[in-house]
Amino acid sequence: MKAKGLQLITILAFLLASCSPKPTPSGKVQVMATNSIIGDVVKEVGKEAVALNVLLPPGADPHSYEPSPQDLVKASQARIIFINGAGLEEAFLKRLLENASPNARIVDLSEGIELLPFEGEEHGEGHTEHEHEVDPHIWLDPINVITWTNRIASALGEVDPQNAEFYRKNAEDYAKKLQALDAWIREMVEKIPPERRKLIVDHMALGYFAERYGFKQIGAITPSITTLAEPSAKDIAELMELIRKEGVPAIFVSASANPKAAERIAQDTGVKVVTLYLGSLSGPQGPASSYLDLMRYNVSAITEALK
């Protein structure tokens, strides 16, 4: 009886494995993703049919990164380059595209997504954000990443049509995981009283997350969408006054940002400094080694700090 049961399990395992999508044998598509979050989604869709290079290593700040000569060589070999768009890669995109193969397809993953505006305001020694600049942090809403997933599958299928169905099926499977993630986040947010759903951040990165899940991004150390802006003494003083007035218990700081200003504010106001992974995955051994893990980690940290 035991032997028959084992035999049945083996047969079922074989049948399930045979149902899993497999790529048609061919040369792997050479793909570049500008950051580790995009790279993780491309990997979920392309799997073993693509040879993936990720430009920014885990922990790198996309606002300040400069590609190396080796990066530019890899760009010249890529058949497709996936970028976030919405101005995120502005600092290095021109150099990257100048070195890309003329046959490379550039896929801007922000296309087709309703971008949130960032209204400019003065900060940091007279620096002013451009009016009507858009927020590029679109991946912090997993529903936007479903749009990414479909665009990635479509682009890969166009350059590698014999594996188009393989990419489509992988995208469909990953989209289900993203929908489950969205439902889980909503459950977690329910643990936070509505009046406590207020976010103080190091830079204005959580707009899409706040819009999707009913938070308010009420203040930032650098009231900017980039980590490169420097806060003035006036900015810091006004933020501390806001924290005291609103009774906010935490400041959320990107793992790639310098936490010194946040720590100084926390010392003066008694709030906690909570690290989030906002612009990059962690390393493979870290708590945000995939996009799904990144969102679970961030939401758990936000919930624990605000509930």
Write the CATH number for 76: 3.40.50.1980
According to the model, what pLDDT value does residue 225 have? 61
pLDDT of residue 67: 84
Q: Do residues 160 and 223 both lie within one domain?
A: no
Chain centre distance of CA 108:
14
Residue 61 covered by a domain: yes
Residue-by-residue DSSP string for 197-218: -EEEEEES--HHHHHHHT-EEE
pLDDT at position 226 is: 60
Extract the residue ranges of the chain whose pLDDT is less than 70: 1-21, 24-26, 63, 119-132, 224-229
In terms of C-beta distances under 8 Å and separation of at least 24 residues, what long-range contacts does 203-207 make, across chains too? Answer: 203/227, 203/229, 203/254, 203/257, 204/118, 204/135, 205/135, 205/137, 205/140, 205/254, 205/278, 205/279, 206/137, 206/140, 206/252, 206/278, 207/116, 207/118, 207/135, 207/137, 207/140
Q: Does one domain contain both 177 and 197?
A: no
Same domain, 154 and 220: no
Query: pTM here?
Result: 0.86
pLDDT, residue 79, reads 95
Which residues make beta-bridge pairs with 123? Answer: 127
Looking at the structure, tell me whether residues 60 and 168 fall in a common domain: yes
Please count the other Cβ atoms lying within 10 Å of the Cβ belonging to residue 52: 19
pLDDT of residue 133: 85
